[in-house]
Structure 1
C-alpha cells in the first residue's frame, strides 16, 4: 500500500484544504496491491450489479410512467394536478444529488445507497396502489428523493475501479437502463395494451428491480467506513462542524427556484405572482448561498468551493448539463410528433417513440471506448458538433418525412449520449482530490437538473406559444376556404385541439375536416421547428465548453480511489489502517 507519508506529501503538494479529514483509508491504491481475484470477487461483482440495477430503477421509476400520465389521469382522475407528477420527480432529484454526494463523502456511502433503494421500493408500492392523483404525487416524491441516490452510482463504481477503467464502468451501468430508456415507451404501452396490470405494471417492474438492487447493496457493498475515512475523529465532531446554514440556503433556495421555473407556463402563467415570487425568493437564496460558501470560514462546507477553481471541471459540468438539455427538447417533442403526425397506433407509436432514448442509450454504452480512442477533449468536441448538426437539421421536419427526421434524431441522440457518459466520467476524474468525488459528481447532477428544468420550461413555452399562434392563423383560414362558415371557426378550432366534437360543428363536412386536419398538422410542424431551432443556441455554447474541456489520457492509471472491505476481501487495507 502507499505509505502515509507519501500520500500526505501528495496532498500537501495539491494544497487542498481538508482540515476535518484524518488520513483517509482505501484511497490511492494501485491495482497491483489489491488481493488476487479482487475484481472477480462476489463483493465487487455484487456491488457492480447493485449500482447497475439502482440506476435502472432510478431512471425507470419515472421514465416508464411518463408516457402514460394521460392514461393514468383518466383512470384515477381526472385531476389537473397530474402536471405535478413530473415536478414531484425532477425537483427532489436535482436538489438532493449534491446532498447525497457531499454527505456520503463525509460519512461513508453504504447506508445512503441502501436507504435510497429502500425508499424507491416504498415509492413504487405507493404509486402502484394509488387510487387518486395526490397519492401518485406523494409516491413520486419518494421516487424523486430516492433517485438522487440511485442516479449517483456513477461515482460508486468509478471510485472502485482503476482510473483507466472508469469509462468502462460507466458504460456497464448504462447497460441496465436499456429496458427503461432504450425501449421504455414500448414497454410502457405494452403494459397498457397487453397486460391486466395496465399502467401499474410499470411500478411492479421497478419494484422488482429495486428489490434485487437492495439485496445486492446489503450483501455486497462495503465501502470505506466512517472510521476508515476519518481515523479517530468522531461522527459527532464532523457533524458539529458541518455547514448547516449552507444546507438550508441550498435546499430551500434551489428547490424554490426550480419550483418557480417549473410552474411557469405549466401550472401558472409566467406573469403569475406565484411564479415571480418563487423565482425571486429562490434566486435570492441561491445568491446568499454562493456568498456564504465563498466568504464564510467553514471547516466542513456544504460545497467544496475549491472545485469551482478548477476551470476544466466547471466546463465539463456545464457541458454535460447543456448537452442533456438538448436531449430533453427531443424527448418532449418527438413523442408528440409521433402521435400527432405519424400514427395513432399506441404499440407502433411506442416503438417509434423509443428512438430518442435508444440512440442516447447506445451512445452511453459505447462510451466504454473513451480511453481506447484517447484525446477525450476532441471526442467531446466531435460528438457535440455532430449532435448539433444532426439535431439542428431535424428542423427540416414535414408531415411526410418521418424516416429522415427519425434518422437524424437517432444519430444526434447517439452522440449526445456518448458525450454525456464520457463527460460524466470525466467530472469525477479531473478533480484534484478523489475524496471529493461524491461532491463533484453530485454538484454536476444538480446543475444538470437545474439546467434541464430551465431548458424544459423554455422548450415548453416555445411550443405552447407557437401552437397558440399557428393553429388559429393556419387552420381557420383553411377550413373557411373549404366551405366552413366563419361563425363556426371557434368551435372547429376547439374540435381540432381535442376540446370539442368536430361532428357537432355547424356546416362541417369531411372535406372541411380533411383540410383542417392538414393545416393543423402543418401548424404543429412549424411549432416543432421553432423548438429545434432553439436547441442550436444551447448546442453552440456546448461546443465552446467542449473546447475548454481537458484531455485525461495522463490520468488513465492503475490507481483505485476506494476499495471494498469485508467478506472475502479482508486482505484489503487502506492507508493508516493497522493490522
Structure 2
C-alpha cells in the first residue's frame, strides 16, 4: 500500500523537466521576448518562434505562395517604371509641355517622395501588414502615371512624378520585404534574385520609351506603365493575402494606434522633404546663400535632428527600435555602401541616357541601344550577388568588395568618353552596371538577414531611404559640377565656332544657341539667323555642342571616384553574415 503511494522515480524526472522548462521560459523572457508582445519571441533577438507555426522548414510552393511572389514581382517592376520610362525621354516631354528650366524636378520629385515616405511606411507595414500598403503603393503609381501622361504643363507633370514616387517607395519596400520573409533566410538571396529577374522585359525601357515618344508621343509611356501596374494591382487584390502580423495579433485598435510613431513619421517625412528640396534648389535654380535654399535646408536639417532625438529618447514605440541593431557594424557599413551606390547609380540611371543623347546623337534606336548595357548589367550584377549570398551562405564582404571595385572603376572610367569614343565605352558600361547592381539590391537583402523577423520592412525601408538620399545628394553634387563645367565649355566651344568660323558675333544669337543646346532642342538651332538654311553651319554648332557636353560630363565621373573609394574602404571592414544564414522562414504561408 505504501509502495503504491510512493511517487515513481519518473516523477522526479518530470519535476526536473518542468524546472528546466521554467528556466528556458525565463531565458526567453529575459533575452528574446519582444517588448509589448507575449504571443511570440525571437530566438537570439532575430528569428520568430512561439506563434504555433513551423518556422524551421520551407513550406511547399502552393498556389497561394506562388501568387504572393507574383504579386511582389509586379510591385517590384511597377516601382521602377516611372523612372525607367520617363527618365529616357525628358527632351520630348519639356519640348511639348515646357518647363525646360525645371525639368530635373521630374526626377527629383520622384526620388524625394520615395525617400520621404519609406521609413514611416516601412514601420507601418511591419505593424499593420503588407496587403494594404501594397495596394496603396500600386494605386499611387497608377494615379501618378495618369497625371503625368495627361499633364499640359511641367508643374503638373512634376506632381504626377511625386505621386508615383510615393507609390514606388511603398511598392519597392513591400516587394523586397515580402519576398524576403517568405523565403528561408539562407535562400533570401535566391528568392530575391528571382524577383529582380522579372524586370528583364523592362531593361530596354530607354529603347521602348524612345521609340514610343518618336512614333506615338511620350504620353503613351504613361499608358504602358499604368496598365502594367493596374494588372499588378488586380493580382495583389485577388491573390495576395499574407497572414496577420504577429506583432499586432491580440492588440485592440487603441493599442495598435498607440504603437504608431506619428511624431516620428511627421518629423522624418517633413524633414527629409525640406532638406532634400533645399539641397536640390541650391546652385541650380537659386544661389546657395538665398533664403529659398537656406530656409528649407536648415529647417529640414533641424527636423531630422529632432527626429533622431525623438527616436532615441522620446518615442515609446520608435520607428527604428534599438533591437534593429543586432549586428551594428555590418548594418552601419552596409548603409554607408548603400548610400554611395545610390549616388553612383543615379549617375548611371540619369546622366548616362542624357550623355548618350547629347554627345552621341538623337537617333531613338541608337539612344536605346546605348542604354542596354547599364540596364541589363545592373540586373545581372544584382542577380549574381544575390545568388552568391545563398550559394556561399554569406561571403558578403568579398562580394561587396568586388562590386565596389567594379562600380568605382567602371563609373570612373566613363571619364574617358569623348564624342568619338563610343566604341570604348561598351565594356566600361558593363563593368559599371555589374558593380552597381551588385550593391543596390543585395545590400537591402543583407540588412533583412541581420534584423529581427518582425522588422524586415522597417530595415528594408531604411536601406531604400538611405539609397535614395544618397542618389539625391549625388545628383545634386553631380549636376552642380556638370553645370559649372558646361557653361564655360559651351561658351568656349559653341561660341567659338559661331564667332570665329561662322562669323556670328551677335551675343543674343550665341546665348540662344547655347540655351537650345543645353536643353537638347537642337532643331530650334535652325531658327537662329546665320544658321537657318545652312546645314553645314547647323552641323558645326551641333558638333561643338556635343564636344562641350563630353568635356562637361567627364567631371561627374571624376567626382564619383571619391564616393567609390569610401565604399571600397567600408566594404573592407564588413563582418560576415554566414552565422545568420539558417533555414528559418519568417512568415509561413500555407
Interval containing the TM-score (normalised by the shorter chain): 0.7 to 0.9
CA distance in 2, matches of 1:512, 1:144: 43
Deviation at 1:254, TM superposition (A): 1.3
Aligned to 1:576: none
Where do 1:292-307 residues align within 5 Å?
Answer: 292-296=310-314, 298-307=315-324
- Once the two structures are TM-superposed, the CA of residue 514 in structure 1 deviates from its matched residue by 5.8
Question: How big is each residue's C-alpha offset from its partner over 1:98-146, in whole Å with a ceiling of 9 and x where there is no partner?
Answer: 1121011122222211222233233333333444444433333321211
1:183 positional shift: 0.9
Query: How far 1:558 moved relative to its partner?
Result: 0.9
The range that moved more, 110-119 or 319-328, is 110-119
Q: How many Å separate the matches in 1 of 2:527 and 2:169?
A: 49
1-side partners of 2:527 and 2:165: how far apart? 43
Q: How much does 1:406 deviate?
A: 2.7
TM-score (norm 2): 0.86
Show structure 2 runs of 5+ residues with no match.
Answer: 1-20, 518-523
**Could you give the per-residue CA deviations for residues 250-296 of structure 1, whole angstroms, max 9, x where no partner exists?**
12111111111122244434333111110010001111111222222
Report 1:76-155 matches (<5 A). Answer: 76-77=97-98, 80=101, 82-152=103-173, 153-155=175-177
Taking a change above 3 Å as real, the CA distance of residues 421 and 119 of structure 1, as seen in their structure-2 partners, is closer
Post-superposition CA distance 1:47-66 (Å, at most 9, x none): 11100111111110232122
Q: What is residue 288 of structure 1 aligned with on the other side?
A: 306
Per the alignment, residue 391 of structure 1 pairs with: 411
Deviation for aligned residue 1:481: 4.5
2:453 corresponds to which residue?
434
- Judged with a 3 Å threshold, the aligned counterparts in structure 2 of structure 1 residues 11 and 43 are, in CA distance, closer, same or farther, namely farther
CA distance in 1, matches of 2:81, 2:447: 24
User: Judging changes above 3 Å, is the alpha-carbon distance between structure 1 residues 77 and 130 closer, same or farther for their aligned structure 2 residues?
Assistant: same
Q: 2: CA distance between counterparts of 1:276 and 1:290?
A: 21
Q: Is 66-75 or 20-29 further displaced after alignment?
A: 20-29
- Cα deviation 1:380-407 (Å, max 9, x = unaligned): 1111112212221221112211021232
Distance 1:70 1:533 in 2: 26
CA distance 1:19–1:503, change in 2 (3 Å): closer
Using the alignment, how far apart are the partners of 1:320 and 1:420 within structure 2? 6
Tell me how far apart the structure 2 counterparts of residues 475 and 132 of structure 1 sit (CA, whole Å): 30
Alpha carbons 2:55, 2:584 under 8 Å: kept: no
Tell whether 2:531 aligns with 1:494: no
Within the alignment, does 1:418 sit opposite 2:434 as a pair? no
SS of residue in 2 equivalent to 1:67: coil
Q: CA deviation at 1:156?
A: 0.8
Farther off after superposition, 361-370 or 76-85: 76-85
> Residues 484 and 507 of structure 1 are in contact (CA less than 8 Å); yes or no, is this contact kept in structure 2?
no
Partner of 1:577: none
Within 1, Cα distance between the matches of 2:113 and 2:267?
15
Shift of 1:466: 0.2
Tell which structure's C-alpha radius of gyration is larger: 2
Inter-CA distance 127–8: structure 2 relative to 1 (3 Å threshold): farther
2:295 to 277, 292, 295: 277
Cα distance 1:10–1:162, how it changes in 2: closer, same or farther (>3 A)?
A: farther
3-state SS of paired residue (1:400):
coil
1:177-192 paired onto structure 2 within 5 Å: 177-180=199-202, 182-192=203-213
Pick from 44, 48, 56: which aligns with 2:65?
Answer: 44
121-130 vs 72-81, which moves further? 72-81
Cα contact 1:428–1:440 (8 A) shared by 2? yes
Number of aligned positions between the proteins: 553
Taking the aligned partners of 1:391 and 1:384, their CA distance within structure 2 comes to 10
Partner of 1:562, secondary structure, is coil
Aligned to 1:23: 39
Is 1:317 matched with 2:335?
yes
Deviations 1:12-56 (A, max 9, x none): 435x7x4233323996469x9479994321111001110011111
What is the distance in 2 between the residues matched to 1:6 and 1:199? Answer: 64
Contact 2:272–2:300 (CA under 8 A) maintained in structure 1:
yes
- Per-residue CA deviation, residues 492-550 of structure 1 (Å, 9 max, x unaligned), is 35325427746744599777666655444333222111110000111011111212222
User: For the residues of structure 2 that align with 1:488 and 1:132, how far apart are their CA atoms?
Assistant: 32
SS at match of 1:21: coil
* Aligned twin of 2:422: 402
Equivalent of 2:551, from 509, 526, 533? 526
For residue 203 of structure 1, what is the aligned residue in structure 2? 222
Secondary structure (helix, strand or coil) at the match of 1:462 reads helix
**In structure 2, distance between residues paired with 1:121 and 1:102:** 23
Distance 1:10 1:392, change over 3 A: farther
Paired with 1:11 and 1:320, the residues of 2 have a C-alpha distance of: 35
**Contact 1:29–1:560 (8 Å) recurs in 2:** no
Residue 157 of structure 1 pairs with residue 179 of structure 2: yes
Supply the distance in 2 between the matched residues of 1:211 and 1:6 (Cα, whole angstroms).
50
CA distance in 2, matches of 1:213, 1:118: 10
1:171 aligns with 193
Judging changes above 3 Å, is the alpha-carbon distance between structure 1 residues 8 and 450 closer, same or farther for their aligned structure 2 residues? farther
1:79 and 1:388 mapped to 2: Cα distance?
32
User: Normalized against structure 1, the TM-score is what?
Assistant: 0.87
CA contact (8 A) 2:405 2:435 kept: no
Q: Distance in 1 between matches of 2:398 and 2:244?
A: 38
Alpha-carbon distance in 2 for matches of 1:381, 1:481: 50
Distance 1:430 1:312 in 2: 8
Q: Contact conserved, 1:475 with 1:493, CA < 8 A, in 2?
A: no
CA RMSD, 1 decimal = 3.0
1:329 to partner: Cα distance: 1.2
1:51 and 1:492, CA in 2 relative to 1: closer, same or farther beyond 3 A? same
**Could you tell me whether the CA contact under 8 Å between 1:130 and 1:136 is conserved in 2?**
yes
Question: How has the CA–CA distance of structure 1 residues 372 and 38 changed in structure 2, closer, same or farther, with 3 Å as cutoff?
Answer: closer
